[in-house]
Structure 1
Amino acid sequence: MPTPNRGRVLRSVRVAAAAAAIALLTTVSACGSSDPTATAPASSAPAGKVVVGSFAFPESEILGEIYAQALTAKGIQVETKFNIGPRQQTIPALRDGSINLIPEYNGNLLAFYNPKYTERTTADVDKALDTAVTADKLRVLDSAKAEDKDAYVVTKKTADDNQLSTIGDLSKIVPFKLGSNPQFGELGYGIPGLKGVYGVGTKAKEVTFVPIEDFGGPDTVKALVDNSVQVADIYTTSPALVANNLVVLGDPENMISSQNVIPLVADSVYTDQLGEILNKVSAALTTEDLIALRDRVEGKEKASANAAAKEWLTQKGLL
């Protein structure tokens, strides 16, 4: 049965649709993009404000707090957006202005831009980064001495009994078991590097790889302390190194790329004052500091990242 006012309703619908289409076109034009599917940046920072971000793990939040508090103390307006996620999220956030500054790790950041990079030392990695990040209108400042990277670790007893100080010295204790995350068996600084760079494990059954899923966490540490494995891959800022009196073996061949903490900042907010403040922070920050900071936040004390950062900055005379 026909609807009595159907013609009037259809005309009203057409008018409304046309108005909506015009509004949509106006909105797209206002974005200033030639791509009608492009979206506007998500909440760019107001002029004069620096938005500090972090990755989604405690150490990064601590570093973000250090940066934010150091800048605030010198009169720079700061906002924080922590626990964002991996680089697949943080780099786009830097590009669109959602954040303007984040504590980074130079080797992994370079790998994001160039997965086949060959630089290994801090100086070489930083030099390559200077160029790599410019495409995104970003810049890196000075690297800290502090590094958070993979390391070949043994107990102090194993080191003392066998006079181990470097990765190459592991040839003295073959055969041995090495515990690490499953990917370590294929990484260039993992089992292949151990063989190719240091000549350890080139013969059958010299090195038995034991995959452990927690990426240098409690299970890996327990396996090492219990002697279930004699060597383990544990990150250099793990509080477990001090708590369990573990020894990080030296890497004189730079098989493992540098992973220095480094500020990554957007050109849009960079000033000489900001650079000077953050470079002073980097000059004061050591790996031992990171271990202590992580231990305060992640250990028994359960201090807040905010409090731990403030006390560190105060001790270093940066507040």
Structure 2
Amino acid sequence: MSIFKKGRIAVGVIAVGAVVALAGCSQGDPTAPDTGSGGGSGDAIVVGSFAFPESEILGQIYAQELKAKGFDVSTKFNIGPRQQTIPALQDGSINLIPEYNGNLLAYYKTDFTERTTKDVDAALGDAVAKDKLTVYKSAPAEDKDAYVVTSDFAKKNDLKAIGDLSKVQPFSLGANPQFATLGYGIPGLASTYKVSQVTFVPYEDFGGPDTVKALTDNTVQVADIYTTSPDLKAKDLVVLDDPENLIAAQNIVPLLSKKIASDKLEKTLDAISAKLTTDDLIDLRNRVEGDEKASAETAAKDWLKKAGL
């Protein structure tokens, strides 16, 4: 996984990390007030994104489908963390952005206890309403932390869920340094799944190539790797099930200003969410971040066509 994941973590308040500005970011201040045709009312939509490839891909999917449905659309991608995107939504610099429901809820409610998609979504509407924002239906697609093992290790030890790790104690676990103290990290592993004989090995790349290499060469037997990492397929890795919902839902959800809300917009974005899966995000990221180096625009266009949108 690329360095972009470090920026991905930084957009939430559950984890800590510096936001990484990536190559290809737009020049100038992307959160400055918009003076173009996209900042008005009615069907005019300004789609924003966080400063990492997956978010830009999702922004392109929203923008292209909305244009196809007759909306007046412009884009302002690669903005930064929520400390920038939320004010941009409030002042009209942008009025729609692809979000992650769990991290968005945590931004508004740091002590939230909701974990499932249903519960997180139910709490999210009231949380964002204070900023005159709203959300539509979330997608099945999730990009979140996961306890991951190699396929060989899973087969050898009959590992399917996180709790099964009790059968292979003691073991080493590789993850970002904050994972040692996060509620869904080492402490949660012990309290929720009673797995405590763990040697923690910190890696600074947030599930990136160093973490993946440590897992595949057996330096560690378990690693925290995100569920949309192309390495999951490329390296034949296994995401362990989380039946107790130790890790909160992180479904893709459109966040928008109430000023632009409409039945037509809701129907269009709901149709996208209904089609978007985690496997889709893996494939889209692989096209953009992998050897192909496809543009986010091209990857989004091809996905929309394949999805029948």
Q: Same fold (TM over 0.5)?
A: yes
Q: How does 1:69-108 map to 2 (within 5 A)?
A: 69-108=64-103
Give the residue type in structure 2 aligned to 1:60: S
Distance in 2, Cα, partners of 1:46 & 1:237: 34
Distance in 1, Cα, partners of 2:33 & 2:298: 30
Match of 1:312 in 2: 303
Q: How does 1:58-137 map to 2 (within 5 A)?
A: 58-137=53-132
TM-score normalised per structure 1: 0.85
Q: How many residues align?
A: 274
**By how many angstroms is 1:270 displaced?**
1.2
The one of 262, 268, 277 aligned to 2:268: 277
* SS of equivalent residue, structure 1 residue 197: helix
Q: How does 1:137-156 map to 2 (within 5 A)?
A: 137-156=132-151
Match of 2:25 in 1: none
Match of 1:167 in 2: 162
Correspondence 1:243 to 2:234: yes
**By how many angstroms is 1:47 displaced?**
3.1
Deviations 1:271-292 (A, max 9, x none): 1101000000000000000000
Distance in 2, Cα, partners of 1:212 & 1:266: 38
* SS of equivalent residue, structure 2 residue 47: strand
Correspondence 1:295 to 2:286: yes
Match of 1:263 in 2: 254
**By how many angstroms is 1:46 displaced?**
2.4
Distance in 1, Cα, partners of 2:60 & 2:136: 17
The gaps in structure 1 that reach 5 residues or longer are: 1-40
The one of 19, 38, 50 aligned to 2:45: 50
After TM superposition, which residue ranges in structure 1, 4 or more long, deviate above 6 angstroms? Answer: none
Distance in 1, Cα, partners of 2:127 & 2:198: 37
Distance in 2, Cα, partners of 1:305 & 1:273: 25
Distance in 1, Cα, partners of 2:293 & 2:80: 22
Distance in 2, Cα, partners of 1:64 & 1:43: 17
Match of 1:24 in 2: none
Give the residue type in structure 2 aligned to 1:78: V
Distance in 1, Cα, partners of 2:34 & 2:280: 34
Match of 1:18 in 2: none
For the pair shown, which has the larger CA radius of gyration, 1 or 2? 1
Deviations 1:186-225 (A, max 9, x none): 0000000000000001xxxx21000000000010000000
Distance in 2, Cα, partners of 1:126 & 1:46: 28
* SS of equivalent residue, structure 2 residue 98: strand
The gaps in structure 2 that reach 5 residues or longer are: 1-31
TM-score normalised per structure 2: 0.88
| RMSD (Å), alpha carbons | 0.8
Alpha-carbon contact 2:41-2:259 (below 8 Å) kept: no
Match of 1:176 in 2: 171
State, as a whole percentage, how many aligned pairs show the same letter.
Answer: 68
Distance in 2, Cα, partners of 1:175 & 1:122: 32
Q: How does 1:12-31 map to 2 (within 5 A)?
A: none
* SS of equivalent residue, structure 1 residue 136: coil
Give the residue type in structure 2 aligned to 1:79: S
Give the residue type in structure 1 aligned to 2:301: K
**By how many angstroms is 1:42 displaced?**
2.2
**By how many angstroms is 1:235 displaced?**
0.2
Match of 1:215 in 2: 206
Match of 1:9 in 2: none
Distance in 2, Cα, partners of 1:129 & 1:138: 10
Distance in 2, Cα, partners of 1:190 & 1:301: 34
Distance in 2, Cα, partners of 1:150 & 1:86: 18
